[in-house]
Chains A and B, each alone.
Chain A
Amino acid sequence: MKDFKILKFLDKLKGLFENLGVDYFVMRRILQVKLTLDERRVPTVTMNSSSKKKKGNRFVGSLLVYILLGCILIPFVISQNNYLFQMSFLFGILIFMMFTTLVSDFSSVLLDLRDKDIILSKPVDDKTLNVAKIIHILIYMFYVTFSFTGPALIVSLFKNGFLFFILFLIEIILMDFFIVVLTALLYLLILKFFDGEKLKDIINYVQIILTVTLSIGYQLIGRLFDFSDIMNINFVPKWWQYLIPSMWFAGPFELIIKNNRNFHIVLFSILAFIIPILSIIIYIKLTPYFESNLQKLNNSSGNMKVRGKGLNYYLSKVICRTKDERTFFRFATNMMKKERKFKLQVYPSLGLALAFPFIFLLSDLKAQGWDAIAISKRYFNIYFIALIVPTVIMTMGHSDKYKGAWIYKAVSFKGTKDIFRGTIKAFIANFLLPMYIFQSIIFMLIFKGSILLDLIIVFLNILLFIVICFRVSKTALPFSEPFDTVNQGKGLAIIPLFLILLILAGIHYGATLLTYGRYINIAILVILNIIIWSKGFNISMEKLSQ
């Protein structure tokens, strides 16, 4: 196990920890183990990137992403009109980013129950372990925060001077303390009312929100640069602004740099320093209480509702033809809706697929106006929903609990047709169709109802596209492989797939130019779909096990 540089840095603070009553040697050893474990773990931000890096470099990789994203903070320190506005925007973004990062990547640290069994059964006291946990999280938070704020910090040093830089630095540190403690207190609150499963679900959704925000964030970086107009608005303090943490952190800049002695500025500044320190004190007082609630993480008993067969059951009766197909329809529905790792992989792209058709339509709207759009062929934007198809088809074969796949070998199946068809139908019925219907309704409103036939063609094309994607990508039985192999070489396979979609859309476009063209297109697509959906799924078991 290697000795980390950060631990050598901590050695300098040894006296401080010992004054707190912490067994420094043990704490250092716990941190060393924790840091080693982290090196062997994958963070959320880079999880979807296909480049396989060497172990230990993954975290550095995700820091680079944060540095890049951090560039959006630069405009906020360049302008010197109104620090209160600029800096509260900046801290608002910062707090959001750090909070979501903390929840998605470091919840496991806060909520690790193994620590209790493994470490506290040894002669180690609570305080040492808790301080080790907090330091562990803070180490990462500082890495991440300083990567994210790094560009803005450097710019501020040259542009705004040393005093500004130091103030900024101190506030970032205070904010980190505040966020870590706030998150811990939030968990405490959730665990007080809910059981561990609920908390894990909440964490899962925060992870999904983070991924979506980051992806859309990339698109928006360019558009954020003309913020300067907003900065010039006059500020009138209102009572609720005292509740917004980013306002507190913005206060000291006005107070110290601009010498603005307004009452609200002074109050914001005081809050910026008092609240983080107060929250640390509250946290230390409440930790024992937190620990006893933590025990609930293992209890998933809660109030389990007795459920009947559910919609899922009746849906499968309607959609599927054979018994095996129905079985896999239900199985896949349950897995896709309940497996957290699967959700983390797929749900962000569901969000993007839902947003993209509208994002592109919006930029057209800006340029041309509603009336021009309504008679145009911009409804082709709805094809962007098919973005999710390759992602889902490729993720379908994977699961966090892939070892459960022994069941395929233990039970004899006649063929794989029903397995795949049931699973893919589950995806269509549960995700694609509801999303498509939702988008269709909005598109119908925008295009004044004249595009019904086109929407049918698009859907038939997507159905065709699904089977093509399935045949082209390397298939594994549903939920039968670990997630590590998801991205191996598959990222590139998406590009030719989109060419196929482009051709299908091109034919559709051609059809719209002819009289009766749409009807002919539909007829051909229906026939093609019938053939491909009945023949396209025959893959022999032997071929799969290769």
Chain B
Amino acid sequence: MELFNEPIITIRGLKKSFGTKKVLKEINLDVYKGQIIGYIGPNGAGKSTTVKIMLGLIEDYEGEIKILGQDISNGDVEYKSKIGYVPETAEIYDNLTGREYLTFIGELYGLDYDEVDEKAQKLMDLFGLKNVYDSRISSYSKGMRQKVLIISSLLNNPDILFLDEPLSGMDANSVMVFKEVLAELASQGKTIFYSSHIMEVVEKISNRIILINDGQIVADGSFDELKGKSIEGSLEEIFNELTGFKEHKDIAEEIVSIVQGV
């Protein structure tokens, strides 16, 4: 199949430490066009760090990363114009209005003001935010901000999307629309890197799941492949098994007993 010939992202021997703490121990990864990758792992496993390194937000790593054929450490930032990013911490200049923020982001991508404005307006409309386009983002609810972030990541028609917990705060209807959008984008050959803690969503939308624990990849494959290797049924249970977490029942019992003790 033509789609799967050339990897769009290659990571070889990626290591990263903050001070003495090793966050990424050894990551090797090939990502192909059209894949929706569910990138999962416990808190502090190194998910966001991997994504930030790929975006050039964290430097001084060991190993080699190629995105769209370009080694990202060569100082040329051009590859970022093909990437869309929804960060985990919903950082945003919230004293700007929706219009001001989105046109600004579009222009950073090198797009023309009128072009972005039109595109952003249409997308805001489709996400049900038409009447707040000229209100300050600080007045938006959490879900509305999240939608603005998602729109901002799509303005440049990216080939690769990095989504870090993109659905937080969004209502069920918008989630449904967005999941459909992701599937559609992937079928057009876009690559989506999706990190989340909500296993049901990851299980449903991803066609490849990568589980990272303690700075290493501990599982890689489609959901069915993971299920084949494991005795457990749902992704949540596989997650628990692979990250070596078995005591959830005991901990839960203890919590309840402390709660009732007061």
Contacts and interface: CB of A to CB of B under 8 A. Distances in A.
B87 A121 contact: yes
Interface string B79-92: 11101010101011
Interface in A48-97: none
A288 B87 CA distance: 22
A122 B105 contact: yes
Interface string B83-108: 10101010111011000100011011
Contact of A121 (B60, B78, B80): B80
Interface stretch (B5-13, B25-33, B51-59, B194-202): B51-59
A40 B95 contact: yes
Contacts of B93: 33, 37, 114, 118
Interface string A466-507: 000000000000000000000000000000000000000000
Contacts of B169: none
B78 A123 contact: yes
A41 B83 CA distance: 32
Interface size class of A (residues with CB under 8 A): 20 to 34
B110 interface: yes
A123 B109 contact: yes
Nearest to B107: A29
B107 A118 contact: no
Interface string A115-134: 01111111111000000000
Given A1-B100, A124-B108, A114 B58 contact: no
A298 to B, nearest CB: 8
A37 B92 CA distance: 12
B77 interface: yes
A122 B109 contact: yes
Nearest to A37: B95
A125 B78 CA distance: 9
Contacts of A41: 95
A130 to B, nearest CB: 13
Contacts of B56: 120-121
A26 interface: yes
Contact of B81 (A36, A114, A123): A123
Given A33-B100, A36-B96, A295-B58, A122 B89 contact: no
Contacts of A33: 93, 96, 100, 104
**Among A117, A118, A120, A121, residue most surrounded by chain B Cβ atoms (within 10 Å):** A121
A540 interface: no
A125 to B, nearest CB: 5
Nearest to B93: A37
Contacts of B77: 123-125
B92 A114 contact: yes
Contacts, number: 68
A292 interface: yes
A37 B109 contact: no
Contacts of B55: 120-121
Interface of A is mostly: helix
Contacts of A26: 107-108
Nearest to B55: A121
Nearest to B18: A295
**Among B80, B89, B93, residue most surrounded by chain A Cβ atoms (within 10 Å):** B93
Interface in A295-324: 295
Contacts of B60: 292
A30 B18 CA distance: 30
Interface string A1-14: 10000000000000
Nearest to B103: A1
A120 B85 CA distance: 11
A33 B104 CA distance: 8
Nearest to B56: A120
Nearest to A114: B91
A482 B95 CA distance: 16
Contacts of A295: 18, 58
A41 B58 CA distance: 30
A237 B100 CA distance: 57
Contacts of A29: 104, 107-108
Interface in A96-126: 113-114, 116-125
A26 to B, nearest CB: 6
B80 A123 contact: yes
A293 B89 CA distance: 19
Interface in A27-51: 29-30, 33, 36-37, 40-41
A343 B100 CA distance: 34
B39 to A, nearest CB: 17
A117 B108 contact: no
A29 B56 CA distance: 21
Contacts of B80: 121-124
Nearest to B59: A292
Contact of B83 (A40, A114, A121): A121
Nearest to B138: A40
A125 B93 CA distance: 19
A37 B58 contact: no
Contact of B87 (A25, A40, A117, A123): A117
Nearest to A120: B57
Interface string B57-70: 11110000000000
Nearest to B100: A1
Contacts of A118: 91-93, 105
Contacts of B95: 36-37, 40-41
A415 to B, nearest CB: 24
Nearest to A118: B91
Given A26-B108, A124-B80, 8 more contacts: A40-B95, A117-B87, A117-B91, A118-B92, A118-B93, A121-B85, A123-B81, A295-B58
Q: Sorted from nearest, which 9 A-B pairs have the closest CB atoms?
A: A123-B81, A122-B108, A123-B80, A114-B91, A117-B91, A40-B95, A121-B85, A121-B55, A125-B77
19 contacts: A25-B107, A26-B108, A29-B104, A33-B93, A36-B95, A36-B96, A36-B100, A37-B95, A114-B91, A117-B87, A121-B80, A121-B83, A122-B81, A122-B108, A123-B78, A123-B81, A125-B75, A292-B59, A292-B60
